[in-house]
Structure 1
Amino acid sequence: MDTVVPLKWAQHKKIVFLTLEAKNLSDTGRSINLTPEGHLHFEGTNKVTSQHYKLDLDLFDEVIVELTKWKVTDYSVQFSISKKKDNEKFWPRLTKENKKSNFITVDWAHWVDEDEAEEKGINYNPEEFDDLPEEGDSDDEEEAPADLDDLEGEKKEEEEKKEPEKKE
C-alpha cells in the first residue's frame, strides 16, 4: 500500500524548498521526476520497513528543472526548486489546487516572510543548497520529556509547611 509522503515547504522569492519526510530510502526503485510545468512525482521504498512512499504534486507555477537540486539523506529528500518567473511575488500556496492538504506543512526553518525579504533584500543563492545539514542534524527530532516528578514532591513539601501541625 502506498503512503503519501509528509511534506514541509518554504519559499524565497526565487526558490521553493521542499522536504519529503521519507526515511531510510532504498537506492533501488526510487523515482524522482520534476517537469517544467511544475509536476513533481516521487516514489520510494523504506529499506527497513518496506513501506512504499508515493507523491504526485502540481506546484503552483512553472519551475526551472535545470536549476533544481535535490539531496537524499537517511531521513528525507530535500529539494531546492527554482521558480521560473523569479520576478513575481511569492507564491500564495504550494500547489495549483486551492485546497488544504493534511500532508503539507510549513517548514519554519527555511521560511522567509515576503515583506521581510523585500526589506532586508534577501537573495537566495541556489549553490548554498549544497550546504544543507546532513542526516541527524535536524531540529525536528523529539526531545525527551522533562522529568516532572520532582515538581510534585516540592508542591507537597510547600503544602506541609503551610498546614499547622495537628496535636492529638
Structure 2
Amino acid sequence: MSRHPEVKWAQRLDKVYVTVQLPDAKDVKVNLEPDGSFTFSGTAGSSNNSYELKLDLFDKVNVEESKINTGVRSIFCIIEKAEKGWWKKLLRGDGKTPHYIKVDWDKWVDEDDDGDKLDLGGMDFSNFGGMGAEGMDDDLEDTDDEEQEVDKLQNVEKTEEAHPDAKMEAASST
C-alpha cells in the first residue's frame, strides 16, 4: 500500500512551486501533463515505503518550461503556468484540499508583491533538470543580500584609507 508524501506549494503570476517533502527518496518519478495532471512516485525510509501522489492542478501548465530538482530532503518542482494569472487554489474541483497539501509560507508572495525574487536559501541548482526544456529560469537568482554585504565592506575599506584612525570605529559598526 502506498502513502502520500507531504506537499507544500506557493505560486507566482506565471508559475507554481511544488515541493514534495520526502527525505532520502529513491526511484523518484515525476510526470507532468499539459492539462495540469501531476503525478509523483518514489520510495523512502528504512523499509522502502512506497509513496504516490496524483494532483489535478487548477489549470493548464507548460510542461516544456517546467523544471524539477531532486534533493536529499525534497523534490522541488517549478511548474510554469500555460497562462499567466493567479490561481485561487492549487487543485481543480470543489473538493476539500487533502490534509497532506499545505501552503509553503516561506515561498508565498501576495499578488501585489509579485515583483519580488524568490530566495531559495542557497539550494544547489547545478543538477537542476527540466521536465522539458534545459536551463535555469532567471527568477532563481540569489537575493541582493550578498551584494549589500560586499558594498558595506567596500565602504569600510574606503573609510580606513581616508581615515586610518577610524579603522576600529568603522569595523565595529558592521
TM-score w.r.t. structure 2 length?
0.65
CA contact (8 A) 2:117 2:139 kept: no
Return the offset for 1:31: 1.6
The equivalent position to 2:29 in structure 1, one of 28, 31, 45, is 31
Q: Does 1:126 align with 2:151?
A: no
- In structure 1, runs of 5+ residues without a counterpart are 132-168
CA contact (8 A) 1:70 1:78 kept: yes
- In structure 2, runs of 5+ residues without a counterpart are 119-135, 143-174
Q: How many residues align?
A: 124
Aligned-residue CA RMSD (Å): 2.0
* Residue correspondence of structure 1 range 33-52 to structure 2 within 5 A: 33-46=31-44, 48-52=46-50
Alignment-derived partner of residue 74 in structure 1: 72
CA contact (8 A) 1:59 1:96 kept: yes
* Residue correspondence of structure 1 range 87-166 to structure 2 within 5 A: 88=85, 90-98=86-94, 99-117=96-114, 121-122=115-116, 126-129=137-140
Q: Does 1:8 align with 2:19?
A: no
Q: Deviations over 1:53-91 (max 9, x none)?
A: 1000000000000110010111110000000001x3x10
Residue identity in the other structure for 2:52: K
CA contact (8 A) 1:69 1:79 kept: yes
Secondary structure of the residue that 1:41 maps to in structure 2? strand
Task: Return the index of the structure with the highest Cα Rg.
Answer: 1
Q: Distance in 2 between matches of 1:45 and 1:127?
A: 32
Return the offset for 1:52: 0.7
Residue identity in the other structure for 1:13: L
The equivalent position to 1:65 in structure 2, one of 52, 63, 66, is 63
Q: Deviations over 1:105-155 (max 9, x none)?
A: 1101110101222xxx44778344487xxxxxxxxxxxxxxxxxxxxxxxx
CA contact (8 A) 1:80 1:126 kept: no
Aligned-pair identity (%): 34
TM-score w.r.t. structure 1 length?
0.67
CA contact (8 A) 2:11 2:17 kept: yes
1:130–1:70 distance in 2 versus 1, CA, 3 Å:
farther
CA contact (8 A) 1:6 1:103 kept: yes
